């Protein structure tokens, strides 16, 4: 029977795009058991590990080569002074938002910045008057910066966002409609666990924990990479073994569809 698929994203697109959003919580064990040659292990391209294409692979989360150089320098603390300033500033804002309203935090921070700018401008003006110099506006370099958004950049970002949204929608449809029994069970277990997370933490607390993890876990993994990889591979091996046994005992979902096609 001739069959021509239409435009929806392929399975590979879904795995790659949705992994950063959906599969960051729920792994696709079938892809982790069969790494493809086009998706070689990011830690050792010549020797793919058992965690390749799995959310449990640390290289998915802690791979500085996939980061923008400036972001990589910040989260890996290449310049401790700069990373400390950024991390401290973000934490001050988030902690302020956890105690005060968003409008109050924005208004007070903006007022503080405006007061500092006024004070610096007056100081430089008085200094120029005393020294009889004509250095011009103290913020001249900042005022001359081009802050317009490039149309091409906006378009490419929008296209990337649409691709991720389509992939997420396709993955959610697959999980909610039980295309694969095991994956949907894991999805349900994850949702059940999230009910407890929601009862323990509010949204702002989770964001704060996420920022702390962003500025600590990559450096911790980089420092203790060998030990962490060894322990995670042991856990992943056990998970894959149990999943394989469950799939063999409950041959429905993808396996049933494959047999029907054959």
Tens of pLDDT, residues 177-186:
998 888 899 8
| Mean pLDDT taken over the chain | 77
At residue 121, the pLDDT reads 92
Torsion angles phi and psi, residue 124, rounded to 5: -65, -35
Average pLDDT over residues 233-257: 73
**pLDDT-derived band at 207, boundaries 50, 70, 90:** very high
Percent of the chain with pLDDT over 70: 72
- pLDDT reading at 188 higher than 50: yes
- What confidence tens digit (pLDDT) does each residue in 125-167 have? 898 888 888 888 888 888 888 888 888 989 999 999 999 999 9
176 vs 197: CA distance, rounded Å? 21
The domain ranges of the chain are 67-133+170-223
Element (H, E) at 227: helix 225-249
Question: Which range among 70-84, 110-124, 174-188, 242-256 shows the weakest confidence by mean pLDDT?
Answer: 242-256
Judged against a pLDDT cut of 90, whether residue 115 lies above it is answered with yes
Q: What is the dihedral of CA 204, 207, 208, 210, to 10 degrees?
A: 160
Position 230 scores a pLDDT of 85
**Overall average pLDDT of the 92-113 stretch:** 92
- Give me the mean pLDDT over the 170-193 stretch: 92
- Between 7 and 214, the more confident residue is 214
Task: Tell me what pLDDT residue 142 has.
Answer: 87
pLDDT higher than 80, residue 6: no
Among 165, 153, 162, 120, residue whose Cα is nearest residue 139: 120
Model pTM? 0.58
Q: Summarize pLDDT for 56-66 with one digit per residue, the tens.
A: 566 666 777 77
Provide the pLDDT for residue 200.
87
Phi, psi of 121 (to 5 degrees): -65, -45
Q: Which of 44, 4, 92, 57 is nearest to 240 (CA)?
A: 57
Cβ burial of 212 (10 Å; 0-12, 13-18, 19+) is middle
CA-CA-CA-CA torsion sign (95, 99, 100, 102): positive
């Amino acid at each position: 029977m001739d069959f021509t698929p239409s435009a929806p994203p392929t399975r590979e697109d879904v795995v790659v795009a949705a992994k950063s959003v959906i599969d960051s919580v729920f792994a696709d064990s079938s892809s982790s058991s069969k790494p493809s040659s086009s998706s070689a292990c990011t830690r050792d391209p010549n020797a793919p590990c058992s965690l390749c294409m799995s959310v449990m692979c640390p290289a998915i989360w802690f791979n500085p080569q996939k980061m923008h150089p400036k972001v990589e320098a910040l989260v890996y603390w290449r310049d401790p002074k700069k990373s400390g300033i950024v991390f401290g500033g973000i934490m001050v804002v988030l902690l302020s938002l956890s105690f005060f309203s968003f409008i109050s935090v924005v208004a007070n921070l903006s007022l503080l910045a405006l007061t500092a700018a006024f004070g610096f401008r007056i100081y430089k003006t008085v200094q120029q008057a005393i020294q009889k110099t004509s250095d011009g506006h103290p913020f001249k370099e900042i005022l001359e910066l081009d802050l317009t958004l490039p149309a091409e950049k906006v378009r490419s970002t929008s296209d990337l966002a649409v691709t991720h949204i389509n992939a997420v929608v396709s993955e959610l449809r697959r999980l909610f409609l039980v295309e694969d029994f095991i994956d949907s069970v894991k999805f349900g277990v994850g949702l059940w666990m999230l009910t407890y997370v929601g009862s323990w933490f509010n949204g702002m607390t989770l964001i704060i924990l996420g920022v702390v993890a962003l500025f600590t876990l990559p450096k911790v993994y980089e420092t203790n990479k060998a030990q962490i990889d060894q322990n995670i591979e042991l856990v992943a091996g056990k998970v894959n073994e149990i999943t394989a046994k469950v799939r063999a005992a409950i041959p429905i979902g993808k396996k049933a569809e494959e047999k029907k096609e054959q």
